[in-house]
Structure formats: structure tokens, C-alpha cells
Amino acid sequence: MNEIGDRKFRANRDIRAEEVRVIGEDGEQLGILSVPQALRIAEERGLDLVEVSPGARPPVCRLMDYGKFLYDRTKKERLSRKTSRASEMKEIRMHPKTGEHDMDFKIKQMRKFLQSGAKVKVRVRFRGREVTHRELGRQLLLRIGNETEDIATVEQYPQMEGRSLLMILSPISK
């Protein structure tokens, strides 16, 4: 018995049922046959008998080239894993006293990250007594949210986490 992903397929002599519904290589129904009869037909055609639906009564088997089937299946799974990319998270750190030019540069970086499809976590870190002026950090994050609203949505609004104020931006899906 071979495994592909989380499915298991029985082939040829591994099939345990007495009788099976057989489907030919081009999709035509060959009817309900005993396993030895179905195996004989598969051998005559140079193919394998593969159990595709073991839960059915009787189980459904298909005549196919089993090696090619496994190869195509793993190739499809690999391709789907390659195309489905987990969302990347980038982080930008700043302080409430960050200068104007530095802010512009960091916003430019955020835009670049968002356009590439990554989420951006913006963290304003408070040092010492700066934590008493949380509203400065909140204004900073709201300004960033306003300046990037054309390409991003605020996924998580400014929220305190320890001595930091966090906001998460995610790209607008097209």
C-alpha cells in the first residue's frame, strides 16, 4: 500500500475485496468483476489495477499506469506547495521621537514590503519615561495607517504589548 499525502492506495495484489467495480483506462465501465478477473484484464492491457474508492460497495478500481499516477500526483502536490506561500511578516521598529526624514524612509520601506505581499508589524518602543506619553506613539501609528491606506488595511489597530505599541498592516488583495 502506497501513501500520497494522506490518501492510501491499494494496487494489484494488495486489493482485499472479493469483487470490485472496474473502470477502464479511458473511463468506460467494465462492470463488477472478481479481483482475479480484473487483474487478468489489467495484465493483458499492460496496466495496474488501482483501488480508487475503497469505501464504496463494491470498491471501485481503475485500470491505470500506477507509477505514472504516483509521479503525477506528487508533482501536483509539489507545485501546489510551491505556489501557496505563507504570508510573510516584516517588522518595522521606531520610537515616539523618530525624526521626520526617518519616518518617511520607514514608510517607504513599509510600502515596498506591502507591495511584495508581506504583512507589516509596526512597533513603537517606549524607553524610560516615554511610556507615560502613549498618545504620541498612537498618533505616529495612525499617521502611518493614513499614509499607507491606499495599499494596506489595518489588520490590528494600535495595541500595547509590554513597553511597545503594536499595529499590523496587511496588503489590500487585488
Domain count for the chain:
2
End-to-end C-alpha distance for the chain, whole angstroms: 43
Give yes or no: residues 69 and 101 share one domain.
Answer: no
For residues 51 and 67, state if they share a domain: yes
53 and 99 share a domain?
Answer: no
- Final residue before a domain boundary, out of 29, 50, 82: 82
Whole-number average pLDDT of the chain: 86
| DSSP-derived 3-state class of residue 103 | helix
- Which pLDDT tens digit goes with each residue over 41-92? 888 888 888 888 888 888 888 888 888 888 888 898 888 877 766 678 899 9
**For the whole model, what pTM was predicted?**
0.52
Q: Which grid coordinates belong to 160? A: 500595547
3-state secondary structure of 132: helix
Q: What is the mean pLDDT of residues 155-162?
A: 91
Residue 81 confidence (pLDDT): 79
pLDDT for 5 equals 45
Average pLDDT, stretch 96-117?
A: 92
What is the domain range of residue 149? 89-171
pLDDT for position 36: 86
| Cα 147 versus chain centre, distance | 30
- The larger pLDDT score, comparing residue 122 to residue 30, is at 122
Determine the average pLDDT of the residues in 98-121: 92
51's grid cell: 483501488
- Final residue of a structural domain among 30, 59, 82: 82
Q: How far apart are CA 68 and CA 32, in angstroms?
A: 25
Share of the chain above pLDDT 70, in %: 93
Domain harbouring 136, CATH code: 3.30.110.10
Please state the rounded mean pLDDT for residues 2-11.
Answer: 60
Distance from CA of residue 96 to its chain's centroid?
37
pLDDT greater than 50 at residue 6 = no
CB within 8 Å of 33: residues ≥ 6 apart: 19, 20, 22, 41
